[in-house]
Amino acid sequence: MSAITQTEEANLQLDTQGFAIVVDGLRKRYGSLVAVDGISFRVKEREIFGLLGPNGAGKTTTVEILEGLRQTDEGRVLVAGIDVRKVPDKVKGVIGVQLQSSAFFDGLSLLELLDLFAALYGRSVDAMALLEKVDLKEKARSNVNKLSGGQKQRFSIATALVNEPKILFLDEPTTGLDPQARRNLWELAQAIRTEGRTIVLTTHYMDEAETLCDRVAIMDHGKILAMEPPDLLIQRLLDKGFHSQRVERSANLEDVFLDMTGHGLREG
């Protein structure tokens, strides 16, 4: 390696310090379709970063590249300082992944599954403590298919935490959940961030992004249209003279729903 590239490497180290994820000029094609069209962004450490966009915008592809599940065509991707392109397996070791359709082997209990996942990372884990964290201690010996939707998502997050990941990827974690379960999951996400982990979240729920995310990137057609804290994006829109058709009140229907049915979780 020449002296110049060594300096570049050194600059890169400085450049990327304090960032959990660095993406520069990422491009990905499927045949003639450009799924991700040269995007660049950075996710700060301990940040909850939202990736928003309609279906087909390219956010799933982006996330899958960050997770080491897909090859990149062009661009530089560093996850926890590791080049995903060069050592995807090393990246997999320091991140936690909760997938949209997370199913698990039938026939194993939650405890056994957590032990299994820990083994896949080459470590052992206090499975019971992990289940306690996601409020599933009573279900420790059950099968996954005996869990409710919210419980499944929480268990899925527990499996993503077995390796004490620096960065946690949550892919539409609250889709299909009732309001109580959603709020419960938000609390879990915030608790995980408090432990010092970075969270990358994709969601179709704008209220979720608004509540949880420090910053969001809005994607469409493989490009990032905007990347700011939610409040700032809203303020910008208002500054342009935007007026909602809807009459804003200080409470909405969800507040009514939760007021009547309570915040307690409804799960068998």
Partner 1 sequence: MLTWSSLKAYFRNRGAIFFSLLVPLMIMGIFGLINFGNGTPTVNIGIVDQANNQVSQRIVSSLQGIKAVKLHRGGLDSEKHELQQGNRDLVAILPPSVGQGSTAITAYYNQGNPQNSQVALAIMNQFVDRASFAFAGISPALTLDTKPVQSRNLTYVDFLVPGMIALSIMQTGLFGVVFTFVQWKQRGILRRLMATPMRVRDFFFSQLVTRLTTVALQIAVLLAVGLFLFHFHFAGNLLYLLIVGIIGGGIFLAMGLAISGASKSEETAAPIANLVSLPLMFLSGIFFSRSNMPEWLQTITQYSPLTYVSDALRSISIDGASLWAIRTDLLGIFIWLAIAVVIATRLFKWEVV
Residues that bind partner 1 (CB under 8 A): 67-69, 89-90, 92-93, 97, 99-108, 112, 115-117, 119-122, 159
Smallest distance, Å, CB 105 to partner 1?
Answer: 5
Quick one: the chain helix, strand, coil %, rounded to 5? 40, 25, 35
Smallest distance, Å, CB 127 to partner 1?
Answer: 13
Q: Which is nearer to partner 1, 70 or 183 (CB)?
A: 70
Q: Which is nearer to partner 1, 93 or 229 (CB)?
A: 93
Smallest distance, Å, CB 204 to partner 1?
Answer: 18
Query: Hey, CA dihedral for 228, 230, 232, 233, is it positive or negative?
Result: positive
Query: Hey, CA dihedral for 139, 143, 144, 149, is it positive or negative?
Result: negative
Tokens of 170: 């949550």
Query: Hey, CA dihedral for 225, 230, 232, 233, is it positive or negative?
Result: positive
Cβ-Cβ contacts under 8 Å for 87 (sequence gap 6 or more): none
Q: Which is nearer to partner 1, 6 or 100 (CB)?
A: 100
Please list the alpha-helical segments (H only) found in 37-107: 59-66, 88-94
Q: Which is nearer to partner 1, 21 or 218 (CB)?
A: 21
Smallest distance, Å, CB 236 to partner 1?
Answer: 35
Q: Map tokens 């996400």 to a residue.
A: 189
Smallest distance, Å, CB 190 to partner 1?
Answer: 23
Q: Which is nearer to partner 1, 99 or 188 (CB)?
A: 99
Smallest distance, Å, CB 33 to partner 1?
Answer: 13
Q: Which is nearer to partner 1, 18 or 107 (CB)?
A: 107
Question: From CA 128, how far away is CA 48, in angstroms rounded?
Answer: 26
Smallest distance, Å, CB 240 to partner 1?
Answer: 40
Residues, the chain, total? 268
- Where are the strands (E) in 58-176, listed by range? 74-79, 82-83, 95-98, 167-171
Give yes or no for a contact between 225 and 218, defined as CB atoms under 8 angstroms apart: yes
Q: Which is nearer to partner 1, 7 or 100 (CB)?
A: 100
Tokens of 148: 């409710």
